[in-house]
Amino acid sequence: MKLRLTVLALAAALLLPAVFPGQGPRAQEPVQKQVFEAGSYRTRGGGTIANTRVGYQTAGRLNEARDNAILITHFFSGNSHAFGRLGGPQGPVGYWDAIIGPGRAIDTDRYFVISSDTLVNLNVPDPNTVTTGPATLDSATGRPYGLTFPVVSMRDFVEVQKRLLDHLGVRRLALVAGGSMGALQAMEWAAAYPEMVARVMPVIAHDIDPWNLAWLDVWEAPIRMDPNWRQGDYYAQGRQPPLAGLAEALRIVTLQSRDRQWARGLGMRPAEGNDPARNLLDRFAIEKWLDDAATARARTSDANSFLYLVRANQLFFNEYDSPEAAFRRSQARWLVVPTANDRVFPIEGVREMVETLRRVGRPVAVAEVAGPLGHLNGVANMGPLSDRIRAFLAE
Amino acid sequence: MKLRLTVLALAAALLLPAVFPGQGPRAQEPVQKQVFEAGSYRTRGGGTIANTRVGYQTAGRLNEARDNAILITHFFSGNSHAFGRLGGPQGPVGYWDAIIGPGRAIDTDRYFVISSDTLVNLNVPDPNTVTTGPATLDSATGRPYGLTFPVVSMRDFVEVQKRLLDHLGVRRLALVAGGSMGALQAMEWAAAYPEMVARVMPVIAHDIDPWNLAWLDVWEAPIRMDPNWRQGDYYAQGRQPPLAGLAEALRIVTLQSRDRQWARGLGMRPAEGNDPARNLLDRFAIEKWLDDAATARARTSDANSFLYLVRANQLFFNEYDSPEAAFRRSQARWLVVPTANDRVFPIEGVREMVETLRRVGRPVAVAEVAGPLGHLNGVANMGPLSDRIRAFLAE
């Protein structure tokens, strides 16, 4: 029950279609959340995480050549649940259910598909997320790390995933694909382990530029402003977590991940019983909607983890002289999937990235994802790209 | 000296060109700030403001027919200083200096040009801004209004300007022009007093839609979160104003009013002496730039006025059934000036507005303003549109 509520809250926050596409080519199969114990991990920045654990799920089977694996990397507020019915035949389906499953574009009858929770995952209070981050107990002190947790980068996410793939016996990836922050991980993979990655599909993202970096800081600022944040030291019993700041941070993300067309559905009308033309603190309906969605989402999220996630995004490609230098390392084929009216990663930035990829000689194709949601089209509306993805995997 | 510092802070926050175009067709003339006592004003929402005062400035002379007047309406964080050297021949020039002045596109040799401070103007601590809003002393109590000040709408801004124009003897406006929130006022003018407005030039704006309305709420949220805000009751001696919340609000506005190309100038590098790859609270250079610009700007701004300004923007066209109904009332010629990569009023929204204007039969032309600044191109880069504006005024 708790699971279902959590997933419904997530779906509400993402405005996923109310009806999930449960009848694909074949019914979706159940998946089970598993835990990978990665052991002691030394971060790229030189910190140490004593006991590193992340959750993951798989579907399909690894072939004898161990080269039919596909890695799905999740977005900022997501977790490993990209495909399959979680927990049983009646469980909720994953966010990319439309393109991953038996007989679907990313066919679990042919591929061994893996998706893992990242380090410093946002969904700490969600029982279906397993992560290691500032809310994790530090075995040295018996208390949560808080801000003593080392800074991690997008590359650190990849390194922990690499350990997971080694553990699973994967030798080569037919594809790494993800939306938004998932795309960032996919791009880091292509640069970090070029010999291992045959194809990359970054969806609704380009390389993080200074503009994105500054917006990420705008996202997190309300958390730092919340008096309950206490420099990250809010886990002790009797203390309140900075839910107001976290909700405000999530409100900004929620709005920027959508678009004008979506907003029109809520219109310019006042919230019920409110009169904003006369009372300064009264609310409009769209404000109330964002308040409610973000407040619900804050309850299944952790504020410090939000800050660490922001920093990991800001440290995208931080080990390379330039995005071009990173792209030059890649040996993969690229299918880049932008969406028009993306307010997080503007489509002209994606076009610039494609030009850079072409300039350094990477094989790259572009397929747009459409819809009224803006950035979130890349999470909620991928179904129509199925044939294009199938063709990409056959190249 | 205080004046110069204030104006420099404003210029820094706006990233105006370091060299002002002081040598136009003819040297810019000094302007003096004046005060208009509008008396008791009943707001459109039914509230009362006992003593309404706003600052204004003029250049040129009203002709005998009293129909050569042009009204310039200011942007969100601006004031009446759109043109002229304020205070004397060495004073700073206005933000639209490139297009307003003797011999310029909006020629003060031919036109009587007026610009006024709005109600609830943001720049309360600036000695060159005269406004009436929540920081004004309520004569009934002898204390600042705070949140007892009535909510005002964009239409209220227009009504106070109407009184000023009546006071100055203006019968007809050859043009109402403004950028961003100034464009909103210009559009309200065209709908409220259609017989009075011959031409409208809304720059870098479309009618406020639900998407804008929600972003305005994101802008103001940090003020409401600041414990020093105290529900608007922070004016009493010994109390601190909510400067942190106000600075964060201004930081969001500052970033959204710019663009990716501008951000590249600051790059992905850490702020001096900072190591964000290792220390979670360390800063990047672009974050530090935004922090500094916004903190400086907060000192010349008032937090409650920010909230009232946001609401006035949200109440744009609130007396009409739809933007179309408002546009239908207009009898003016329109020159609509958008800019590509505008992150506040996306250019596709401006295109939709132009379609609506055409559908209802308004004569409308479009001229794009260019530059690397995004939204702010419409404030800082108007010079190249001079000939187009001249032609528009000759139509």
Tens of pLDDT, residues A88-102: 889 999 999 999 999
Contact state of A213 with B284 under an 8 Å Cβ cutoff:
yes
Residue with the two structure tokens 């300007």:
B161
Domains of chain B: 2-209+321-394 (3.40.50.1820)
With tokens 């929402």, the residue in question is: B45
Distance to chain A for B84, nearest Cα, Å: 34
Yes or no, beta carbons of B213 and A248 under 8 Å apart: no
Chain A positions touching B349 (Cβ under 8 A) are: 260
- Residue A310's CB is within 10 A of a number of other CB atoms, namely 23
Q: Is the pLDDT of residue A22 over 70?
A: no
Report pLDDT digits (tens) over B89-109. 899 999 999 999 999 999 999
CB distance A278–B47 less than 8 Å? Answer: yes
Least confident of A22-36, A261-275, A359-373: A22-36
How much is the average pLDDT of B166-176?
98
Contacts of B44 in chain A (CB under 8 A): 277
Sign of CA dihedral A223, A227, A230, A234: negative
- For the record, the structure tokens of A152 come out as 């991690």
Cβ–Cβ below 8 Å for A214 and B287: yes
Q: Which of B67, B292, B342, B387 is catalytic?
A: B342
Q: How far apart are CA A336 and CA A179, in angstroms?
A: 10
Q: How many CB pairs under 8 A join A and B?
A: 148
How far does the CA of residue A218 sit from the closest CA of chain B (Å)?
7
Measured between beta carbons, the chain A residues lying within 8 angstroms of B47 are: 278
Q: Cβ B225–A217 below 8 Å, yes or no? A: no
Q: Mean pLDDT over residues B242-252, rounded? A: 98
Chain A residues in contact with B287 (beta carbon < 8 A): 213-214, 217
Return mean pLDDT, chain A: 94
Residue-level pLDDT at A27:
77
Nearest CA in chain B to A260: B211
Tell me if A277 and B348 make a contact (CB, 8 A cut-off): no
What interface predicted TM-score (ipTM) does this complex get? Answer: 0.93
Task: Give the pLDDT band of residue B3 (cuts 50, 70, 90).
Answer: very low
Contact B117, B80 (CB under 8 A): yes
pLDDT at position A160 is: 98
Question: What's the rounded Cα separation, in Å, for the pair B161 and B157?
Answer: 6
B227 vs A contacts (CB less than 8 Å): 227
Looking at the complex, report in whole angstroms how far the Cα of residue B63 sits from the nearest Cα belonging to chain A: 39
Unique residue bearing structure tokens 């707001």 = B43
Instruction: Name every chain A residue with its beta carbon within 8 A of the beta carbon of B348.
Output: 260, 341
Q: Helix, strand, or coil here: A200? A: strand
Which residues are registered as beta bridge partners of A57? A115
Which residues in chain B touch residue A267, judged by CB atoms under 8 angstroms apart? 210
Identity of the residue numbered A161:
Q
CA–chain centroid gap for A394, Å, is 26
Average pLDDT over residues A42-66: 97
pLDDT for B25 equals: 59
Whole-angstrom distance, CA of residue B9 vs CA of residue B275: 28
Say which of B214, B280, B281 has its CB closest to residue A286.
Answer: B214
Q: Do B245 and A260 touch (CB under 8 A)?
A: no
**Residues A161 and A56 sit within 8 Å (Cβ to Cβ):** no
Phi and psi, residue B333, nearest 5°: -85, 145
* Residue in B with minimal Cα distance to A287: B214
Interface residue A147 vs chain B (CB under 8 A): yes
Residue A376 in contact with partner chain B when CB distance is under 8 A:
no
CB atoms near residue A5 (< 10 Å):
12
For residue A8, pLDDT over 70 is answered with: no
Within 8 A of B154 by CB-CB distance, chain A residues are: none
What distance in Å separates the CA atoms of residue A198 and residue A196, rounded to the nearest whole number? 7
Residue type, position A324, single letter: E
The residues of A carrying an active-site annotation are 342
Calculate mean pLDDT across residues A203-208. Answer: 98
Q: What is the mean pLDDT of residues A345-368?
A: 98
H/E stretch holding B190 reads: helix B181-192
CA A374 to chain CA centroid, nearest Å: 16
- Residue A180 and residue A276: Cα distance in Å, rounded? 35
Of all residues in chain B, the one with the smallest CA distance to A258 is B211
pLDDT tens by residue, B198-242: 999 999 999 999 999 999 999 999 999 999 999 999 999 999 999
A287 closest CB neighbour out of B217, B259, B286: B217
In terms of C-beta density within 10 A (0-12 exposed, 13-18 middle, 19 or more buried), how is residue A9 classed? middle
Query: Can you tell me the distance from the alpha carbon of B275 to that of B280, in angstroms, rounded to the nearest whole number?
Result: 9
Mean pLDDT of B320-349: 98
Q: CB under 8 Å, gap of 24 or more: what pairs does A21-25 form?
A: A21/A93, A21/A97, A21/A98, A21/A383, A22/A93, A24/A97, A24/A98, A24/A101, A24/A102, A24/A103, A24/A104, A25/A101, A25/A102, A25/A103, A25/A104
| Contact residues, chain A, for B319 at CB < 8 Å | none
A90-137 pLDDT tens trace: 999 999 999 999 999 999 999 999 999 999 999 999 999 999 999 999
Q: d(Cα A200, Cα A178) in Å, to the nearest integer?
A: 9
The first and second tokens of residue B165, run together, are 């124009």
* CB < 8 Å from B in window 268-287 of A: 268, 276-281, 284, 286-287
- Closest CA in chain B for residue A259: B211
> Cα–Cα distance between A299 and A246 in angstroms, integer?
9
Q: Give the up-direction half-sphere exposure of residue A198: CA atoms within 13 A in the CB hemisphere.
A: 15
CA distance B380 to B390: 18
Residue B65 has a pLDDT of 98
Mean residue pLDDT of chain B comes to 94
pLDDT by residue (tens digit) across B341-388?
A: 999 999 999 999 999 999 999 999 999 999 999 999 999 999 999 999
Q: Does A346 touch chain B (CB under 8 A)?
A: yes
Q: Smallest Cβ distance to A307: which of B222, B280, B341?
A: B280
Residues 163-202 on A with a CB inside 8 Å of B are: none
Identify the residue whose tokens are 């997190």: A220
Q: Pairing between strand A100-101 and A173-179?
A: unpaired
Which among B217, B226, B277 has the least Cβ separation from residue A153? Answer: B277
The confidence score (pLDDT) of residue A26 equals 76
Among B294, B308, B309, CA closest to B243: B294
Distance of alpha carbon A14 from alpha carbon A6, whole angstroms: 12
State the best of A211, A264, A284 to mutate against chain B, taking most chain B CBs within 10 Å. A211
Mutation target among A226, A260, A309 for the B interface, most CBs of B within 10 A: A260
pLDDT, tens only, B30-64 = 999 999 999 999 999 999 999 999 999 999 999 99
| Helix extents (H) in chain A | 2-14, 154-168, 181-192, 210-225, 243-256, 260-264, 285-298, 303-314, 323-329, 347-359, 377-380, 386-394
Q: Are strands A364-366 and B30-31 parallel, antiparallel or unpaired?
A: unpaired
Whether the Cβ atoms of residue B26 and residue B16 lie closer than 8 Å to each other: no
Which residues in chain A (304-323) have CB-CB distances under 8 A to chain B?
307-308, 311, 314-315, 318
d(CA A79, CA A76): 8
